[in-house]
Amino acid sequence: MFDSPKIVSYLRLSGVVDIEALSARLEKKLGKLEKEILSTSKRLSKPEFVKKADALFVEETKNNLVEA
């Protein structure tokens, strides 16, 4: 195996990207994801839910939470 040279480039995005709008959109998305993580964690903490739910679903959901 060999190391290839790394190229770093910078692009000026002022005037092309509305940073404030992008930031607001990302903050909103982050809030939704945080709520989803909390909700899923609460469901998985209930033994009744884990017993009734499909085992594969429970395992995949736990793995997704670990990655989050």
pLDDT of 1 reads 53
pTM confidence score: 0.63
pLDDT of 47 reads 92
Per-residue model confidence as pLDDT tens digits over 19-29: 899 999 999 99
61, HSE (Cβ side, Cα atoms, 13 Å): 18
Q: Tokens 């609460």 sit at which residue?
A: 42
Per-residue model confidence as pLDDT tens digits over 4-54: 788 888 888 778 888 899 999 999 999 999 999 999 999 999 999 999 999
CB 68 within 8 A of CB 33: yes
| DSSP secondary structure string for all residues of 1-68 | --PPPP-------TTTS-HHHHHHHHHHHHHHHHHHHHHHHHHHT-HHHHHHS-HHHHHHHHHHHHH-
pLDDT of 32 reads 95
